[in-house]
Structures are given as structure tokens and as C-alpha cells.
């Protein structure tokens, strides 16, 4: 994985085609919207508001972490 960006605007590049889309879908099911970018949906765009409260930011990061883990687990089950 590669992280890039400035300030709160960050991109999380996952080098596997379509994996970003899986993470985005899992996050959406938990109430968090994450856009994807890149020709293969390999970049998660993290765009929190500049005035976000610490508690909400941490909640969102927890959802992202859970979504990545769920996506890895479901991928391993398919293999």
C-alpha cells in the first residue's frame, strides 16, 4: 500500500485491481462513503471535512481499517 496526499486529503493506493472498490463497498455498508480513483479503482480517496471532530475522524478510520480487513478476508476465502 502507498499513501499520498496533502493535509487531510489523502489517497491510499492498493496495488491490486478492484480491491479499492471492495473496501469502498464494505465501508459504505458501515455508513462511510469512500470514493475510488485510478484506472483500476486501486486508490481510495480519503476526503474528511477540514472541521471534523477528532472522535468522528477516529470512527471513520476504524471503519476503513475494518473494511480493509474484511476485504482481505473475503479475498482469501475466494482463493
Q: At what angle are helices 19-29 and 54-78 packed, to 10 degrees?
A: 130
Which residue in 38, 15, 26, 37 sits closest to 64, CA to CA? Answer: 26
Distance CA 42, CA 65 (A): 16
Q: What is the pLDDT along the chain (79 residues), one digit of tens a residue?
A: 899 999 889 999 988 888 899 999 999 999 999 999 998 888 999 999 989 999 999 999 999 999 999 988 887 777 6
**Domain of 42: which CATH number?**
3.90.1150.10
Residue 24: the pLDDT is: 95
Give the count of domains, the chain. 1
| Domain ranges, residue 61 | 2-78
Amino acid at each position: 500500500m502507498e499513501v499520498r496526499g496533502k493535509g487531510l486529503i489523502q489517497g491510499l493506493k492498493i496495488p491490486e485491481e478492484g480491491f479499492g472498490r471492495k473496501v469502498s463497498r464494505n465501508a459504505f455498508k458501515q455508513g462511510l462513503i469512500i470514493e475510488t480513483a485510478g484506472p483500476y479503482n486501486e486508490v481510495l480517496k480519503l476526503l474528511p471535512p477540514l472541521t471534523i471532530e477528532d472522535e468522528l475522524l477516529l470512527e471513520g478510520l476504524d471503519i476503513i481499517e475494518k473494511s480493509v480487513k474484511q476485504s482481505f478476508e473475503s479475498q482469501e476465502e475466494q482463493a
